[in-house]
Structure 1
Amino acid sequence: MPTIAKNNDVITVIIIFEVEPERQQELIDTIGEFLETAVKNQPGFVSSSLHKSIDGVRVMNYAQWKTLEDYQAFVNNSEVQAVGKKLFQFKIHESHVYEVVVSLPDDAELKITKGGLIHLAEFRVKPENQMRLVELEREYLPLGLQNPGLLSGNFHRSLDGVHNVNYGQWRSFEYFEELLKDPKYKPLSEYWQGLAENEFHLYEVVFTEPAD
């Protein structure tokens, strides 16, 4: 099954689609078919995990490749991309290549499994501010981990310098709602202000390749 770790010898590609709620499952099925028929046997492919947002307006593909060159060869393979042409009718909200820069706690089982509950926080940042944001993410993540419902926090920085994301794994979303309401966690909603724009969605993992 897919795993997340700072020392993973992979690059991470996160693609987030915007979708009408009534077409969310159609998009998931379309991506899944493309993965099964054209992607999973490509050189350098490691894993892909599909997530659906609870509000119905996003679908995220969290993919891992051995090297950036492998991923670029896949993107530039016109025959493979032609197989996935049905995906072109859906709008991509964000697409970046990332490295994992903060992953806590150290002893967590950072596995991506079907049914997992994920909070994905997206930070749009100027390149000159990206590493400062990483420093603050490393500083404030232990505060979030005081919530017993947060299983792990995994901050990624995009290689193009303009995006950071936190892939937070939760025991249940009720714990996440408590975090939003508890005053002791207020610094978590403030540390990034002045450095980045932020939005988040809550997701459920609905598909992994390799399977659980």
Structure 2
Amino acid sequence: MPTIATKNEVVTVIVIFKVESEKQQELIDTITKFLDTVKQQPGFVSANIHKSLDGVKVANYAQWKTKQDFENFLNNPQVQQQAAKIREHNPDSHVYEVVISESKEGIPEINQKYIYHFAEFRMQPENQPRMIELAKENVVKAMNLPGLVSANFHRSLDGTRVINYGQWSNKEAIENLKKQPGFGSESPYWEGIAENEHHLYELVLSATGK
């Protein structure tokens, strides 16, 4: 079972697709078929496919042994030819490292018993360090609430993204978080530093390498 690389012992790649709701399952099926090839690539560790509950997003939380392994995968023309249909969906893909991980259950495991939450923070690279500082200041408050199992902030190596990959026991707990000062739409803690978009997901498939 895949786990979050809290010490960055593997490289994390997060790919998020925006889709029309009627095409969400079609994209998932296409990715699933492509994974038969991806699983054979050197350095592949895991791919974890999520679909948003509102139907408009698909996310792949992937892991590779090294950044070079992932780049070799991207630079393999035969493999990438098979991914042409997937790229039509304009994936937002970045390489990340874990910078904050808070969990109530030890090292977080990626499995289907949770509701997942990808909070996508987009920013100018000069704002990324401050965004991470603000996340550290506010994550403890969030973890004190019932229902939040783990919060895992990742920073993209290009400086333009911070993603919180969160695990929840129920949707009601997420709505409760939004009512807390600094976490709702009014005066959020990231105001002026980043733009935020978040969706709730379920995990639909995990694939691991040899």
1:18–1:58 contact (8 Å) kept in structure 2: yes
* Cα distance in 2 for residues equivalent to 1:145 and 1:53: 23
1:117–1:203 contact (8 Å) kept in structure 2: yes
Shift of 1:18: 1.2
Alignment of 1:191-210 (within 5 A): 191-210=189-208
C-alpha RMSD of the superposition: 1.5
2:181 to 182, 186, 196: 186
Amino acid aligned to 1:6: T
Deviations 1:74-129 (A, max 9, x none): 0000011112222133232x211100000003753401113531111111111111
1:19–1:91 contact (8 Å) kept in structure 2: no
Deviations 1:50-70 (A, max 9, x none): 000011010001101111111
Shift of 1:200: 0.6
Q: Which residue of 2 aligns with 1:82?
A: 81
1:124 to 111, 118, 122: 122
Q: State the aligned residue count.
A: 206
* Cα distance in 2 for residues equivalent to 1:62 and 1:86: 19
Amino acid aligned to 2:135: E
TM-score under structure 1 length normalisation:
0.92
Q: Which residue of 2 aligns with 1:172?
A: 170
2:37 counterpart of 1:42? no
Any unmatched runs of 5+ in structure 1?
none
1:113 to 104, 111, 114: 111
Q: Which residue of 1 aligns with 2:157?
A: 159
Structure 1 runs of 4+ aligned residues shifted over 3 Å read none
Shift of 1:135: 1.3
Percent of aligned pairs sharing the same letter: 53
Q: Which residue of 2 aligns with 1:25?
A: 25
* Cα distance in 1 for residues equivalent to 2:148 and 2:155: 20
SS at match of 2:192: coil
1:149–1:172 contact (8 Å) kept in structure 2: yes
* Cα distance in 2 for residues equivalent to 1:108 and 1:139: 21
Amino acid aligned to 1:111: E
1:114–1:208 contact (8 Å) kept in structure 2: no
Amino acid aligned to 1:171: S
SS at match of 2:81: helix
2:49 counterpart of 1:54? no
Amino acid aligned to 2:157: L
Amino acid aligned to 1:156: H
SS at match of 2:182: helix
* Cα distance in 2 for residues equivalent to 1:174 and 1:145: 15
2:6–2:107 contact (8 Å) kept in structure 1: no
Deviations 1:134-193 (A, max 9, x none): 111111101001111000000000000011010010001111112223xxx212342111
Shift of 1:34: 0.4
2:123–2:161 contact (8 Å) kept in structure 1: yes
Deviations 1:10-61 (A, max 9, x none): 111111111111111111011011012x101111111000000011010001
